[in-house]
């Protein structure tokens, strides 16, 4: 029900034009439905099981397209149909667990991540977005797991999916034994072989990364595809933002400044808005401001 075989099946069905949902290596209801559709079209008993007859049929047919283009096109159409207004959209903000960090950084990481989450939440709500936090800081202290694992990541992803969110952004800070390690990076769902990725997640990650780099002097560590459980299991475009290194004196000083966290929050909110803007109406990176978003919303009302 999970693994590389399911990845291969999902990719093959997608190439043949059948809907399987996200190509994530999990045999869920959408993948089963796509497999049944394929079986019906090929005259195989539509039992939703990938047996010998189904495998033989999959091997005989030439693919219509390659590289997940159908899913990307459907995703772009869903974004276009959603319209540019943020009012009514749902965004989940995930203050990522700090337990993987060395103990000396946990308290500072808690403060930075949850404060940044609250600043983003407040700005999104002001634009008409319905924003959800996966956990409060108090709740995290009461129920934080000893370490981050697949089960804990699945629990947070399940919460995000339950809200039927349009977007999800996970917030984190990093630490390293190398005090020179510094900078900001953003991650989206994708496999290491480059065969499977979230095109909308990649676009959202790129917007977040570019806005932050344009507005701050954090080192640009770019965007990267990862198959982490949280990114794999969320059904909406989801990204993880690593906003800097607490082990680096420069990054730590910036992150400790409430004014700097305001700049980060504004960059994220503007990236959310730009995600829904067409190229004709989009502003250049780093130029759109939160005050302009609110003015545009009042004018539209």
b/e map 33-45, b = 16+ CB within 10 Å: ebbbbbbeebebe
CATH classification (class only), 4-66: mainly alpha
Cα 86 from Cα 237, distance rounded (Å): 15
103: CB partners within 8 A, 6+ apart: none
User: How far is 254 from 13, CA to CA, in rounded Å?
Assistant: 47
- Return the pLDDT at 233: 87
Residues 265 and 169: their CA atoms lie apart, in Å, by 12
54 neighbors 35 (Cβ within 8 angstroms): yes
Rounded Cα gap, residues 187 and 89, in angstroms: 22
Q: How far apart are CA 266 and CA 292, in angstroms?
A: 11
CATH number at 86-300: 3.40.630.40
Whole-number pLDDT of residue 45: 87
Which pLDDT does position 150 carry in this prediction? 63
- In the block, which residue shows the tokens 């290194």? 245
Instruction: Domain ranges for the chain, please list them.
Output: 4-66, 86-300
The residues, ordered by sequence, that sit 6+ positions from 214 with a Cβ below 8 Å of its Cβ are: 267, 285, 286
Is the Cβ–Cβ distance between 38 and 28 less than 8 Å? no
> What's the distance, Cα to Cα, between the start and end of the chain in Å?
48
Tens digit of pLDDT for each residue in 122-156?
A: 999 999 999 999 976 554 433 333 345 667 888 99
- Do domains 4-66 and 86-300 share one topology? The answer is no
Helix (H) or strand (E) holding 142: helix 137-143
The C-alpha R_g of the chain, in whole angstroms, comes to: 21
301 residues of the chain, pLDDT tens digit each: 777 688 788 878 877 878 887 777 788 888 889 889 888 888 888 888 888 888 888 877 765 545 445 556 666 667 777 778 888 999 999 999 887 899 999 999 999 999 999 999 999 999 999 999 997 655 443 333 334 566 788 899 999 999 999 999 999 999 999 999 999 999 999 876 666 778 889 999 999 999 999 999 999 999 999 989 899 889 899 999 999 999 999 999 999 999 999 999 999 999 999 999 876 555 555 566 656 655 544 544 5
What one-character-per-residue DSSP string does 122-148 give?
HHHHHTT-EEEES--HHHHHHH--SS-
**What is the number of other CB atoms lying within 10 angstroms of the CB of residue 219?**
17
Q: Which residues of 6-20 are buried (b: 16+ CB within 10 A; e: fewer)?
A: bbbbbbbbbbbebeb
Other residues' Cβ atoms within 10 Å of the Cβ of residue 65: 13
CA dihedral 126, 132, 137, 143 (to 10 degrees): 170
């Amino acid at each position: 029900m999970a693994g590389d075989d399911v990845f291969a099946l999902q990719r093959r069905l997608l190439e043949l034009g059948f809907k399987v949902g996200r190509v994530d290596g999990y045999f869920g209801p959408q993948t089963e439905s796509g497999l049944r559709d394929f079986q019906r079209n090929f005259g195989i008993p539509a039992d939703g099981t990938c047996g010998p007859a189904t495998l033989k049929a999959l091997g005989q047919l030439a693919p219509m397209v390659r590289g997940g283009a159908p899913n990307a096109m459907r995703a772009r159409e869903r974004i276009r149909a959603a319209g540019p207004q943020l009012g009514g959209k749902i965004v989940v903000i995930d203050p990522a667990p700090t337990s993987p960090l060395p103990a000396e950084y946990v308290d500072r990481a808690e403060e930075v991540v949850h404060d940044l989450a609250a600043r983003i939440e407040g700005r999104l709500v002001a634009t008409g977005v319905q924003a959800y936090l996966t956990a409060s800081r108090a709740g995290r202290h009461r129920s934080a797991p000893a370490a981050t694992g697949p089960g804990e990541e699945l629990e947070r992803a399940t919460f995000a999916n339950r809200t039927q969110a349009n977007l999800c952004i996970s917030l984190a800070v990093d630490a390293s034994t190398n005090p020179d390690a510094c900078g900001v990076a953003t991650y989206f769902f994708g496999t290491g072989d480059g065969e499977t990725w979230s095109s909308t997640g990649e676009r959202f990650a790129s917007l977040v990364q570019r806005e932050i780099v344009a507005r701050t002097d954090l080192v640009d560590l770019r965007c990267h595809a990862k198959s982490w459980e949280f990114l794999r299991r969320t059904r909406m475009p989801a990204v993880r933002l690593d906003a800097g290194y607490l082990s680096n004196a420069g990054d730590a000083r910036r992150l400790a400044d409430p004014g700097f966290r305001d700049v980060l929050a504004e960059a994220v909110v503007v990236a959310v808005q730009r995600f829904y803007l067409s190229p004709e109406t989009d502003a250049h990176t780093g130029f759109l401001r939160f005050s302009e978003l609110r003015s545009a919303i009042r004018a539209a009302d």
